[in-house]
Amino acid sequence: MTTAGTPGHGPLSGVRVVELAGIGPGPFAAMLLADLGADVVRVDRPGGQGLAIDPAHDVTNRNKRSVLVDLKSTDGPARVLDLAARADILIEGYRPGVAERLGVGPADCHARNPRLVYGRMTGWGQEGPLAHRAGHDIAYIALTGTLGMIGRPDEPPAVPANLLGDYAGGSLYLVVGVLAALHHARATGTGQVVDAAIVDGTAHLASMIHGMVAAGRWQDRRGANLLDGGCPYYGTYETADGGHMAVGALEPQFYAEFLDRLGGVDDLADARKDWTRWGELRERVAARFRERSRAEWTAVFEGSDACVAPVLSLAEAPHHPHLAARATFTDHAGITQPAPAPRFSATPTSVRTAPAHPGADTPEVAHDWAVPTLLDGHVPDPLVAGAEKPDARPDAHAPDAHVPDAHVPDAHVPDAHTAGGHVPGGHVPDASGPHAPGPDDRDHDHDKDIA
């Protein structure tokens, strides 16, 4: 394993990662590796577009360093290969074939570094009829059957933000994959390609449900099962002030305590096992919750094992006593954000630096990674020149300068999760020669990032 030139924090200290910039699952996966202590260098594209926010607020680029490389230039691919030669892991999110056309595909990188783990993040995957099509989280999870499981039976499927596909089915599987491949590379000296597709990961997340369907214990429709809102003691209820309470009293003892604390529905205790009475039980429970405010119900269930909790907003969550006690959220560079997870007893992690500004770390990375060619034509950014530490940079690691791996769908985006088409400003690059991946080169919304 190569050794990072800068001190690290966390169990992955000493692991070097090259991230070809993008948006969505790719950057989030790279952030996880950075949070765990890896030295992540994000290769941003000059003038590249990322999230429509100030880069200083894109926390998915925290704990990283950034260099600028123009893959349209004749020497751009060579600079990326110089980095790959010194890395343990490389992550990209272009549509299938884009990285190869740019000269930074798996074969190009492995020719320089046979031990390299080459992670590819896309929505549709590297192969299949839709591999070159554009797409976004919602389309990926739609085809896997998971989107159709979520929501009320009398309404269209509910949209779970982009957490289920992009991050759970995408980023987390990419991280597991590249770390497993890194373990193999250390043992054998041989790297490999990790094809992380959101459709694969999201389908895999539903493994238990598929087993229950096969066993006849799950109906293949929304709002009719124990864990999809069909059960009246596993769901959410509105309170008198417009707030909501979440109920998960599945086991008999928890259900009994739930009814005892709720009050007024004791006569329906036996409806727990009688699904024909679930509708009646749900109506009675809903009526009770509408009698008091969220705060009042929170107080009623406080300290109990009824498995009931208030539904909090993003702004409220950091102030909940339990999360505050665990420091689940942290403040860094003026931004309240989730702290790194999980936690390690011997190799603790932390938010070490603010989001990296595109190219701000070029001189430092050129020195630490022994890649002097990164300095060719480098022009210091006046906004960050003189910054003492990456964490002092207000705008460090802007999310998307390079964003070949961004989640932004792009017309071309062969590797983006969006594979194709929608990416704002996307264009269809000329397949006849090298070019810097644009929004269209990213797989799709996420694929752009690293697909």
Phi first, then psi: give them for residue 34, nearest 5 degrees. -65, -40
In whole angstroms, give the CA distance from residue 400 to residue 225: 41
Clarify whether 110 is annotated catalytic.
no
Spacing of C-alpha 446 from chain mean position: 9
Spacing of C-alpha 208 from chain mean position: 22
Phi first, then psi: give them for residue 41, nearest 5 degrees. -110, 115
In whole angstroms, give the CA distance from residue 89 to residue 181: 9
In whole angstroms, give the CA distance from residue 99 to residue 252: 55
Q: Distances from the Cα of 411 to the Cαs of 236, 403, 419, in angstroms?
A: 40, 14, 7
Q: Report which residue type is found at 31.
A: M
Phi first, then psi: give them for residue 99, nearest 5 degrees. -60, -40
Torsion of CA 177, 84, 64, 397, to 10 degrees: -120
Alpha helices, DSSP H, located in 22-171: 25-35, 76-84, 98-102, 106-112, 137-144
**Alpha-carbon dihedral sign for residues 46, 51, 52, 53:** negative
In whole angstroms, give the CA distance from residue 206 to residue 45: 37
136, 332, 412, 446: which one is catalytic? 136
Q: What angle do CA 357, 361, 366 make, to 5 degrees?
A: 150
In whole angstroms, give the CA distance from residue 96 to residue 71: 17
**Alpha-carbon dihedral sign for residues 269, 273, 277, 278:** positive
**Alpha-carbon dihedral sign for residues 420, 165, 160, 217:** positive
Clarify whether 136 is annotated catalytic.
yes
User: In the 8-state DSSP scheme, what is residue 203?
Assistant: H
User: In the 8-state DSSP scheme, what is residue 105?
Assistant: S
In whole angstroms, give the CA distance from residue 90 to residue 281: 53
User: In the 8-state DSSP scheme, what is residue 157?
Assistant: P
In whole angstroms, give the CA distance from residue 50 to residue 423: 11
58, 82, 88, 166: which one is catalytic? 166
In whole angstroms, give the CA distance from residue 311 to residue 309: 6
Active site residues: 136, 166
